[in-house]
Amino acid sequence: MSELFITHALRTPIGTAGKAFREVTAAELGAVVLSELADRVAGEVEDVVLGNCMGPGGNVARVAALTAGLADHIPALTVDRQCASGLAAIQLAAANLAASAAPGQGTPPAAPPPSTGGVVLAGGLESASTAPWRFWPPVGDAEPKRYERAPFAPADRDPEMGAAADALAELYGITRERQDAYAARSHERAASAQADGAFDDEIVPIAGHTTDERIRRGLTAQRLAKLPAVFRPDGTVTVGNSCGINDGAAVVALSTTGPGLRVLAAASAGVDPTLPGLGIVPAVQRLLARAGLTSEQIDVWEFNEAFAGQVLACCDVLGLDDELVCRQGGALALGHPWGASGAVLAVRLFSQLITQQNGRYGVAAIAAGGGQGTAILVEACR
């Protein structure tokens, strides 16, 4: 990649569906963050790229940009890679910005890439609370059937996410006890980070709310052990060791000039769609190979915690100590606003590596329905 930097990174608080942001649309959530970022960046905003899964359709990124007061001439693009949409939007924006900054055909090879001086705002937004209801067209005299979610793969290879997480945990021998312990730890870490103000600088207040809604201080593995399995009678996945259904937005500013987080590499990969949670594994492997780094060199790991068993399985396959992942809590505690979650991970990297100066290298990775994963590798340049 050409020299690219994440120079700013912000998000809304993450709300529980039907609660704090129950009347706030996805575009409105995104507009709050876009407006604040546009005020903070040094260069002119040239483009907006945002991920979204369950919005009203059309180009919600354009609606958010205009709602934020960005100039009419600034274009916007909406990206859908399901749960990986927010991080995929950053990956796509980085690739486009790198291409625009590359030398032209007539430029001598030894010349450095010219700097455009411009900024691209990229991330994701999601409002489960206001997601529209859709229905399949009626067949004959039958009543219309509600369209619950998009197909992620052909019907015979498209399990529900919870059932797929149960299957993944069983395949890799991830016990119920280990899942509950991991989930409790996520809440404990997030509660501690919240109390210490670790999230304060990354959050843009909205609708009178300044803190994440889902975090449960004092939640223990013993309490979680009392919850029943929800996807199959003999399963290990419960509501307690799964993420919530949430609302939120997160956006970063990308520029060809620093300081900030230098984007060293980005990668996406596919896996068996019946085990979609494993998508993190090949994305991270491809990412590290491209950058010529080993896992031991990474200081901050941010994986999207859709399910405790899923994250633990990915850590085991990667040979990564799960204690190193989401050291300030993850989506099990903070929440999982689908199309925004990948961008939330990028914001978390920025806070830990730049604001808190907790290391040099960071990796964010997220899996998506249909058997996909997206990851990004960054280096702190202060």
Cite the active site residues. 83, 336
Show the DSSP H helices in the chain as ranges: 26-40, 60-67, 85-101, 161-171, 176-195, 221-224, 280-291, 308-318, 331-334, 338-350
Angle, in degrees to the nearest 10, between helices 308-318 and 161-171: 40
Task: Determine the Cα angle at 256 with ends 255 and 261, to 5°.
Answer: 65
Name the residue among 300, 373, 382, 379 with its Cα closest to residue 4.
379
- Cβ neighbours for 90, distance < 8 A, ≥ 6 positions apart: 6, 49, 122, 123, 252, 254, 266, 342, 343, 346, 376
Contact 38, 270 (CB under 8 A): no
Please give the backbone phi and psi of residue 87, each rounded to the nearest 5 degrees, phi first. Answer: -75, -35
Tokens of 168: 């993944």
Pairing of strands 134-135, 260-270: unpaired
Tallying the residues shown for the chain, one arrives at 382
Contact 21, 207 (CB under 8 A): yes
Q: Where do we find the tokens 């919005």?
A: 55
**Whole-number Å distance between alpha carbons of 37 and 143:** 46
Task: Determine the Cα angle at 123 with ends 263 and 277, to 5°.
Answer: 85
Q: How many CB atoms lie within 10 A of CB 158?
A: 18
- Cβ neighbours for 64, distance < 8 A, ≥ 6 positions apart: 26, 27, 28, 29, 30, 31, 34, 48, 50, 76, 125, 249
- Cβ neighbours for 250, distance < 8 A, ≥ 6 positions apart: 9, 10, 11, 12, 33, 86, 123, 124, 125, 340, 343, 344, 346, 347
